[in-house]
Amino acid sequence: MIARIVPPPSRSAGPSLPRSAVEGLSAEPVPSTSKRGRRVREGAIVTILTLLLTAFAVVTPAAAIEIKRVVSPGGIEAWLVEDHKVPIIALEWAFEGAGASDPKGKEGLANLAARTLDEGAGPYDSQAFAARLQDNAIALGYDAGRDGFGGSLRTLSDRRDEAFELTRLSLAEPRFDAEAVERMRAAVLSSLRRDQADPNYVGRRLFYSTAYPGHPYGDEIRGTLESLPTITPDDLRGFVKNGFGRDRLVVAAAGDISPEDLGRALDHVFGGLPATSANAAIPDVEPKGLGETLVATRPTAQTVMLMGQTGLKRADPDWYAATVMNYVLGGGGFGSRLMEEVREKRGLSYGVYSYLIPMEHSALVMAGGNTVNAKAGQALDIMRQEWKRMADQGVTEEELADAKTYLTGSFPLQLSSTQAIAGILLQVKRDELGIDYLDRRDAFINGVTQADVQRVAKRLLDPNRLLTVLVGRPEGVTATRTIDGGS
């Protein structure tokens, strides 16, 4: 039995489930905590793959992409964009919910697993596994997130059999040798200690721990200085056994591979995994601390500012209106209101911004930036005023038109490489937007009216209910709570 190309389901009216950075403006501006793609940066494959990707990079109109729904002989489904112009294959996958809630006292378990899955598997120890990847120009990496556990593979077409086998081994037979685990643990501990001196990190941690106390969203995904030493290789093996079930698997692929070959690869890579996972259920949660202003004192010349409140999940009918609103408010770079009022007119900051964070069990709309300590109160007041102005007045016709032009015109730039296309496919599939979403996306954006933006702005933006966090020695700010030395 070969893989089946299944006709797509009937067209849906719109998005149905939360979470997405597909619009290009909803990604939280924080650095990755994973080792994803580390093998690429360390080996000569960066030269091979980068040259190929850049040499053949072409911006592809979203409507020109044909997405095929492939079902393997073993029943594993994937979406595929088949393209034989470049001899590269990209595979992206996620286990929904895996690692979203680490066991109490074992915080950081999923992240440590992500960092060690490619540190030896099957007959290969860490050095041998790395050599197989590098010698065959294979990029393999894993990433633990708030709502799931992801994997990524890039390979040259003629090395795909080796790439798929190494990926299978990393999922089904990870070694978690003591030396590799200790090395990765030490790296995470070092990064955690280093981040304690970073005011941006301190601000994010204080915000999330205040907004989501007692919920996994409030935890540091990398764990803590206390929890990481307690994690054992057996804990890591248990995480893989319980979390990597085919019932929670989502897969997308792009590049130089046929549906039939992809079907066989899906069964080879994922077919031996357990049929079901045993992930703990995560409850929905509303952010707490709304209306509070927290100051974490730090001996810095500048103050980091972070503020946010309840946002929209990806499935919300107002998502596209919120996307337009966010672009005008602070997501549009130098053309946004926050940048115009805080930076351009008053010179109070090098950069201020806003963004949407849709998650599986909650959502936020946030803004941030930095300013000199003496001007912190003034900068914060202006940001709150712009928050209120958007809620009261919405956007102008010109702002609406400019936002639509950017949001529709810039999207094809995200489809400029095989890996980027696979990543977008995976996110669209995870969000259950429909296999024809790329054809319909522009219509959703262009259908937003001024009244829509006004409605969603009134619904979301209330400066009196912002959870505000400042790190530094801000002047002109009335704090509801001060944390000396940070948190």
Give pLDDT, residue 374.
98
Mean pLDDT of the chain: 90
Tens digits of per-residue pLDDT, 194-210?
999 999 999 999 999 99
Residue 143 per-residue DSSP state = E
DSSP calls for 363-404: EEEEEEEEEEGGGHHHHHHHHHHHHHHHHHH---HHHHHHHH
Higher pLDDT, 52 or 240: 240
**Each residue of 147-190: pLDDT tens digit?**
999 999 999 999 999 999 999 999 999 999 999 999 999 999 99
Mean pLDDT score, 74-86: 98
Residue whose C-alpha is closest to residue 348's, from 366, 326, 374, 327: 374
> How many CA atoms lie within 13 Å of 348's alpha carbon, on the beta-carbon side?
25
Q: Is 7 within 8 Å of 88 (Cβ atoms)?
A: no
- Whether the pTM exceeds 0.85: the reply is yes
Q: Per residue in 413-464, pLDDT tens?
A: 999 899 999 999 999 999 999 999 999 999 999 999 999 999 999 999 999 9
Q: Is the pLDDT of residue 351 over 60?
A: yes
Classify strands 293-297 and 467-472 as parallel, antiparallel or unpaired.
parallel
Bridge partners for 50 per DSSP: none
Q: What is the pLDDT of residues 421-434, one digit of tens each?
A: 999 999 999 999 99
* Nearest by Cα to 189 from 152, 229, 147, 143: 229
User: What pLDDT score was predicted for residue 484?
Assistant: 85
Domains of the chain (ranges, CATH numbers)? 31-270 (3.30.830.10), 293-421+432-484 (3.30.830.10)
For tokens 């601390």, name the residue: 289
Which helix H or strand E contains 178, and what residues bound it?
helix 178-195
* Residue predicted with more confidence, 36 or 269: 269
CA dihedral 46, 52, 57, 60 (to 10 degrees): -100
Q: Which two tokens mark 139?
A: 């990029």
* Nearest CA-CA partner of 371 in 476, 287, 280, 268: 476
pLDDT at 63: 57
* pLDDT above 60: residue 15: no
Using alpha carbons only, what angle is made at residue 356 by residues 219 and 348, rounded to the nearest 5 degrees?
95
Q: Poorest-confidence range of 56-70, 96-110, 417-431?
A: 56-70
